Structure 1
Amino acid sequence: MLLTLGISHKTAPIDVREKLAFTQENIPGVLAALYGEIALEEVALLSTCNRTEFYFSTQNQANTSFRQLQSWWKNYLTPQFDMTPYLYMYTEEHAVRHVMRLACGLDSMVIGEPQILGQLKIAYQTASQSGVVGRTLSRLFQTSFSVAKKIRTQTGIASHPVSIAYAATTLAKQIFCDLSQATVVLIGAGENIELTLQHLLAKQVKRIIIANRTVSHAKALAERYGAMAVGLNELGWCLQQADIVISSIASPKPVVTKTHVEQAFTKRRPLFMVDLGVPRNIEPDLAHSEDIYLYTVDDLQGYVNENLKTRQNAAKDAEVLIEHASGAYMEWMSAQAQLATVRQLRLKAQDIKNHALSAAINRLRRGEAPEKVLTQFAHQLTQKLLHQPTVQLRQASLEQSEEKITVVKELFDLSD
């Protein structure tokens, strides 16, 4: 049985999620401990800022397995609250569909975002290296990765930016065709600026300068991404270098004024400016200046909303592909279960045959007549092979179970 147990941004606030999360460095040890303490056939663990989820297969009943894993999770992290209200649980095809939707970004805060696919691949790789993944989960993850690739190719779900930061960098790319030659000044050091920085680096921007009121915060961010950090007191110098200025800083009044720009520019050249601040960080009158392209959050929001609608439409097509893929996976699971039953049947028949054959060979070695030995061997083999089916058939007759009787007739090709 395939199961999923977890929490996410949809069911738990961040203060709960962080108490129930695992660091990537600890996950191999967590998997080893979990695998050793609970009767699981396979297990994998994904833990990000938005979710922590266990994927596992077991022969136990679903409710029993969920209770065991929940109890283990709580004991391992010892949170001082009841985690039950924040949990969700999926079984069989619902679990399969969930993993596929997750890989495609359909369960993310931002529909179609690609980061979760990489995180899921790391979770699978970690579980594989820990030796706690077998055929069932391997097939599920590999299928999910293939479905995600197919959906991104066929639906274009990730081709339209839906974050303000990404919209800003995409617009910059439209104005400056070659960002590898551009110098970007980022004002601020918060989450929006870091996300913008990541998008700029993906577009191979030549040079990035981070200007912030608290220089230590700017330096910490710059060190992580190979940028340059300065204080706001050097803003005039920054503007002299800049082709692109993107600002997102908490300030009651503009930090970039018309006077700043006029003093910085000794000759006219294009300057692309994006003001992500609320209140605004860049003096609005700069929009009227020649060669300055100034956009605000509201300007970009319309762009983002339109793209979000496009992604939502693409998500509908993605759900259809996931429905087909999850159905195919469940058929494969069913086939594996049937093959396992066939293997068990063959092994049992082989065991019965070996015992009967061993007894026959010993009798031949003692000099008994071969014809007598072979006759008795055939009789004993037939009796032992048919004993259990005969018992079950008699029981079915007593219970008047026509369905079981019909199955036996079909299995042994019996006519009335």
Structure 2
Amino acid sequence: MEELNRFYTIAFNHKRLPLEVVGKFHIDEDNQATILTALKEKLGLEELMFLSTCNRVEFFMVSKQVKTAEDILDSGLFNLSQENALIARSNAEIHFGKDAVRHLYKVTSSLDSMVIGEREIITQVRKSYEFAEANGLAGEFLRLLMRKNIESAKRVFTETAIFRKPVSVVSLAFHKLKDLNVPAEARMLLVGAGRTNKAMAKFLSKHGYKNIAIFNRTESRAAELAAQVGATSYALDQLESYDKGFDVLIACTGSESHVVSRELFDHLCGEETTPKVLIDLAIPADIEASVFDRSDLRLTHINIEELRIIAEKNLHERSQDISKCEAIVEEGIADFDQIHKERMVELAMREIPRKVKEIREKAVSTVYAKEIEGLNPESKEVLDKVISYLEKKYISVPMKMAREVMLNSK
């Protein structure tokens, strides 16, 4: 497992840190390639993959040097106060080697999720890798690891009952909304058209909510989602002039600052005094805290922290299948370890053909040149055949033996 010790994971997640601090490590999609490339260079990493969800930010790194949370915090790429930096430094979850592989497998299989059995995570991890690969951040190690990791996660979801009655963050929020008996004709404002609100929009449409307005920084993305669910779409800056009122506002933009300020909220409410439901699924929060100071309105606030409490109650119901899932994960780790060893042998032995050819050339043209020159044409031809035969065997036999050793070590 020595080669695996180059693999590190540094996680800032909901289990150890306030979500406000986790959100400080979020990187806007438009800036991810630039910032992650800079981080890879600053830390001297061989490979890097970045995962950011509503309740976790994780860095998966391949490096010959030991990596810690300090390396990320001291990179100068993340804007944390001294207090938050200290909290993050003290509570980061760090793994390396086989434990890091196990951690990635558990994350992808949802065994480390706020809600065990939620299926969004496998897509989020896969897309994180695809982004890393497309931007030159990932290499051979992550390629092999992710292939086996996704295979293992799929087994968890198909061979166990862990996903039955799935309760993801989005579905938790939707069920909470349903518990409030919000009528089907309610006016819905969705701020953001990313993965989370896309899933929410589909939930709403599926359950009969059709009065939906979707706002997004990229209007074409809002229009695409609106077409799928029968909603109307707007550019994000059109919120400032929107005057049709609302009953439910659902925000999840991935912005690093508040999107719904107190001033904007007051404008959206206008003269209305009817109850409002505010669902904030973003980290950091999209809705400014002062919005909830409105004493003249009955406001219902649903946020990630509240959903985490609900999720914890669901853990017990999911626990009966945990042991089977963990067994699949361990099988997947062993499978990756084996294929990784085989690949390392292949890479090490690909030099053999070149080396053998060099030895042959030196023997024929230098070491035994005079002796060979004295041979008649027939003898030279026989000698050339013998040398060619030996060359092929000296190339194939070690490779075959190495593969057999690897197979027998399973």
Normalised to the residue count of structure 2, the TM-score between the two structures is 0.58
Structure of larger gyration radius = 1
Matched, 1:207 2:215: no
Instruction: Answer whether contact 1:23 1:47 (CA < 8 A) is retained.
Output: no
Change (3 A) 1:230 1:149: farther
Q: Distance in 2 between matches of 1:84 and 1:137?
A: 26
Q: What residue identity is the alignment partner of 1:74?
A: S
More off after superposition, 194-203 vs 34-43: 194-203
More off after superposition, 37-46 vs 323-332: 37-46
Change (3 A) 1:68 1:150: closer
SS in 2 for 1:128: helix
Q: What residue identity is the alignment partner of 1:123?
A: S
Change (3 A) 1:164 1:39: closer
Query: Who is 1:312 aligned against?
Result: 319
Change (3 A) 1:319 1:74: same
Query: Who is 1:77 aligned against?
Result: 78
Matched, 1:130 2:142: no
> 1:84 Cα deviation (Å)?
2.9
Change (3 A) 1:357 1:196: closer
More off after superposition, 201-210 vs 89-98: 201-210
Identity %: 23
Instruction: Answer whether contact 1:103 1:144 (CA < 8 A) is retained.
Output: yes
Aligned partner of 1:52 among 43, 57, 64: 57
> 1:54 Cα deviation (Å)?
1.8
Q: How many residues align?
A: 313
Change (3 A) 1:124 1:42: same
Matched, 1:157 2:162: yes
> 1:128 Cα deviation (Å)?
1.1
> 1:28 Cα deviation (Å)?
1.4
C-alpha offsets along residues 322-347 of structure 1, whole Å, 9 cap, x if unaligned? 11111111111122223333334554
Matches within 5 A, 1:3-402: 3-58=8-63, 60=64, 64-67=65-68, 70=71, 74-77=75-78, 79=80, 80=82, 81-82=85-86, 83-162=88-167, 164-167=172-175, 183-185=184-186, 198=201, 200-201=203-204, 203=206, 205-208=208-211, 218=246, 221=249, 233=272, 308-360=315-367, 363=370
More off after superposition, 315-324 vs 39-48: 39-48
Q: What residue identity is the alignment partner of 1:339?
A: E
Normalised to the residue count of structure 1, the TM-score between the two structures is 0.57
Instruction: Answer whether contact 2:187 2:246 (CA < 8 A) is retained.
Output: no
Instruction: Answer whether contact 1:43 1:127 (CA < 8 A) is retained.
Output: yes
Instruction: Answer whether contact 2:189 2:246 (CA < 8 A) is retained.
Output: yes
Instruction: Answer whether contact 2:245 2:270 (CA < 8 A) is retained.
Output: no
Q: What residue identity is the alignment partner of 1:313?
A: Q
Change (3 A) 1:340 1:49: same
Change (3 A) 1:308 1:2: closer
Q: What residue identity is the alignment partner of 2:37?
A: A
Q: Distance in 2 between matches of 1:36 and 1:201?
A: 44
User: Taking CA–CA contacts closer than 8 Å with sequence separation of 6 or more, which of the two structures ends up with the larger relative contact order?
Assistant: 2
Change (3 A) 1:361 1:140: same
> 1:66 Cα deviation (Å)?
0.6
SS in 2 for 1:159: coil
